[in-house]
Chains A and B, each alone.
Chain A
Amino acid sequence: MDWKRFGFIALIITILFGAVVLVGQSQQRPLLIITSMLATTIAVATPLTLGALAGVYCERSGVVNIGIEGMMLSAAFFGWFTGMYLSNVYHWTLMPSILTGTVVAILTGALMGLLLAWLSVTFKVDQIIGGTVINILAVGLTGFLNRQLFFGKTSLFGGTVPSSPGVFSAIHLPITEIFAPLCKGGNICLENINAINRVFDQKPIAWAAIILVFVSHYVLFHTRWGLRTRAVGEHPRAADTVGINVEGMRYANVIIGGMMAGLAGAYFTIESIPSFEPLMTNGRGFISLAAMIFGNWTPIGAWAAALVFGSSQALQINMQLYRDAIPPEWSFLQQSYVVGLTPYILTMLILTGIIGKTTPPAADGVPYEK
């Protein structure tokens, strides 16, 4: 990652935050707007970060993964279904059922990864088509099961969708408790500390995503596994000639990537909202890929890029909060359809390379033929 790129990322985030502060300042103090934007940004960047990590693992080993969207969607369904089923049928309590649900989501992702690896490594199917197969399969599978299990002849719960046990709650860091005495009872000061505390009160998958960014960085650039993974993605024949199992490395990395996408899927139905809707991933898998490209196939860069997309989504959410404060000549910004375009347009803009060229791994997307 070059500094120019990080600078550009900081600039976009500043602009997006600035826009909300500008609109909302008549109704709220800037610090509170910024902290609320930050908290939302980190939360909504979670699936993008994990999706981008999924892409990094796959593509660093030489497999283009355009099926992240489908991996997320199917993991979201099976993770949610598991938690819901355990709590409604076996009356498990909240945490055991949603934790099991999370594990199932990760396993679903791993299975989808296995399918992609099988298609692209063993059968050498065009990888973009392989990924598209996964996306379409995921839509068909989740749509069918969602209908069949709840409304079909063999419906499980008499034609209704029972409620899910719930979602993860935030992990509270005692920042307020530690720093509150410094305020000496000042109300605004307390409010500020509370607001800052809320930025860090993220839910478990959000924290896991951030930790995984740094773990992945270490794994890719400082371990034997990482060196071999990158070798396989850059020059598989060279790796083969020193006795590295190219196909094995690709399988393993695509499955690991699938697990990341699976955890991203769990975010939707186990961390964000406690229900499943068809097509609910809404293009996040593809935006993840853009984040991966923007981040130049590095975990930390991808995370930074995911935060850009996260802040553009936070913009949309927060604009709605302050929609009454939007001046009439800018009234089209009240339309969520219009503000909602930001991440998509941003993605296309980034892909034009105006921020500087990125270099994919040399053997990315190329099946290895002995």
Chain B
Amino acid sequence: MQPEKQEKSLVRQVLQAILDATLVPFLAIFTAVLIGGLIIKIVGGDPFVAYKALLQGAFGSKKALSETAIWATPYIFAGLAVALAFRGGLFNIGAEGQLAFGAVFSALIGYALPGWLGFDLPFYIHLPLTILAGALAGGTWAAIVGALKAYTGGHEVINTIMMNYIALNMTSFLVGGIMKDKNPLNVISRTPLIAESARIAPIFDGLRIHWGFVLALVMAFAVWWLLNKTTLGFEIRTVGLNPDAAKYAGINVKRIIIITMLFSGILAGLAGSVEVTGLNYRHELGFSSGYGYDAIAIALLGKSHPLGVVLASFLFAAMRNGATRMQFMTQLPVDLISMIQALILLFVAADAIVRYIYRIKVKGERVVLTRGWGG
């Protein structure tokens, strides 16, 4: 090994920056996992056995890896949705409702469009239409909240939550009623299967991982590019950091709020859409085990940076996926993972706690993500 040369100061600066950005999230995860282990111990389990099972379940085989990626896919989309809104100064708690809407509309176009047209479509037309329908449904659902915020000052936090309940009721109404699978053997609220031409193909034979995962990664890059390289991204970030200055600078703040919510909703809608077109091939009530809420933790853990969101999504996906094996091996309930995830969120949101425990000094300014009821 050659000793490092001093000219590498730029590399060291970059490494230092990466370390600064990742140290606190890493310690937050570490602390949460530690406390999780303590809880396992308290309820009479063996933390090492449990975590080993968790890791095996998440990464132990090709199939495990594929399943982890499948879990990560909706997380990436939904996490990007929340992160993008954060960057624009908006708190989108409504990803859950937006992705449910996206899923319903994708399912509808997926199973019903050929029937409406009276002929089959090739997949290169039907599939994009199906995904687009879901994306736009989610986008519209969120843009309504954006418009309410822009024009009436109605706070997006409560409005997105209300829209979640409305979406839940409406999708229940649709999927349990006019969109219900008419198969006489079916008793649950679910739509018929979507047409073959509306399905995303698996990447490998024999594994469930599909091209939707790749689409998620592409979207992460697209969001990064949008925020950091484009004029629109500059406007979104300016509105997010200082809406008064944005107005002064001639930015149409109302328009940017609506656009930010629209894009955020589109990403959330894609989360639902890709679950339908790539994995389940239908929409079924309760398919989302709280992706929209986990997405908040993911966006915070990833510091609202697209790369951070991708990494955080993998972490959450691995935990969710590995939890099944953990439950099988140790009889610890899957819900334990929710606890650990909540703790991660706690420590990430309140990074001051982590800094206090590990005596880390604050670098840079406090980032304001949301503001009170000011509207």
Contacts and interface: CB of A to CB of B under 8 A. Distances in A.
Q: Do A and B come from one complex?
A: yes
Interface of A: 64, 66, 119, 123-130, 132-133, 136-137, 139-141, 143-144, 146-148, 151-154, 282-283, 286, 289-290, 293, 335, 337-338, 340-341, 344-345, 347-348, 351-354, 360, 364-366
A64 B372 CA distance: 7
18 contacts: A123-B352, A126-B369, A128-B372, A132-B296, A132-B345, A133-B350, A136-B297, A139-B342, A141-B339, A143-B335, A147-B334, A154-B43, A282-B165, A283-B164, A283-B165, A351-B154, A351-B158, A352-B152
Contacts of A290: 158, 162
A133 B349 CA distance: 8
Nearest to A141: B339
Given A153-B45, A351-B152, A64 B373 contact: yes
Contacts of A337: 169-170, 172-173, 176
Contacts, number: 154
A129 B296 CA distance: 9
Given A137-B346, A140-B342, A366-B372, A351 B352 contact: no
B157 A66 contact: yes
B159 A351 contact: yes
A283 B342 contact: no
A301 to B, nearest CB: 15
Given A139-B338, A344-B169, 9 more contacts: A132-B349, A137-B343, A148-B333, A282-B165, A289-B158, A341-B166, A341-B169, A352-B148, A365-B373
Nearest to B161: A286
A21 to B, nearest CB: 25
Interface of B: 43-45, 91, 93, 148, 152-155, 157-159, 161-166, 169-170, 172-173, 176-177, 290, 293, 296-297, 300, 330-336, 338-339, 341-343, 345-346, 349-350, 352-353, 366, 368-374
Contacts of B368: 126
A286 B97 CA distance: 15
A44 B162 CA distance: 18
Contacts of B172: 337
Contact of A144 (B336, B371, B372): B336
Nearest to B371: A365
A126 B350 CA distance: 8
Contact of A360 (B44, B45, B169, B373): B373
Contact of A351 (B148, B169, B339, B349): B148
A146 B334 CA distance: 12
Nearest to A151: B333
Nearest to B331: A153
A366 B300 CA distance: 20
A148 B296 CA distance: 25
Nearest to A349: B154
Contact of B44 (A119, A154, A289): A154
Contacts of A126: 349, 368-370
A169 B110 CA distance: 52
Contact of B43 (A132, A148, A282): A148
A286 B158 contact: yes
Contacts of B372: 64, 127-128, 360, 364-366
Contacts of A140: 335, 338-339, 341-342
Contacts of B165: 282-283, 341, 344
A286 B93 CA distance: 12
Contacts of B169: 337-338, 340-341, 344
- Residue among A128, A146, A338 facing the most chain B CB atoms (10 A cut-off): A128
Given A125-B352, A141-B339, A286-B162, A348 B148 contact: yes
A279 to B, nearest CB: 9
Given A66-B157, A136-B296, A286-B161, A152 B43 contact: yes
Contact of B335 (A129, A136, A148, A153): A148
A133 B371 CA distance: 16
A289 B158 CA distance: 8
Contacts of B293: 136, 139
A133 B162 contact: no
B221 to A, nearest CB: 27
- Residue among B169, B345, B350 facing the most chain A CB atoms (10 A cut-off): B350
Contacts of B336: 144, 148
Contacts of A123: 350, 352-353
Given A132-B93, A366-B372, A144 B335 contact: yes
Nearest to B336: A144
Contacts of B374: 360, 365
B370 A141 contact: no
A152 B342 CA distance: 20
A148 B336 CA distance: 9
Nearest to B343: A137
A344 B338 contact: no
Contacts of A139: 290, 293, 338, 342
A283 B161 contact: yes
B177 to A, nearest CB: 8
A364 B368 CA distance: 15
Given A348-B159, A360-B373, A366-B372, A335 B173 contact: yes
Contacts of B300: 129
A351 B155 contact: yes
Contacts of B290: 139
Nearest to B156: A351
Contacts of B154: 348, 351-353
A60 B154 CA distance: 20
Among all A-B residue pairs, the 7 with the closest Cβ atoms: A365-B372, A140-B338, A351-B154, A140-B342, A147-B333, A352-B152, A123-B352
B159 A124 contact: no
- Residue among A340, A351, A352, A353 facing the most chain B CB atoms (10 A cut-off): A351
A17 B35 CA distance: 51
A351 B297 CA distance: 26
A143 B332 CA distance: 13
A327 to B, nearest CB: 20
Nearest to B155: A351
A143 B338 contact: yes
Given A132-B296, A141-B342, A125 B162 contact: no
Contacts of B164: 283
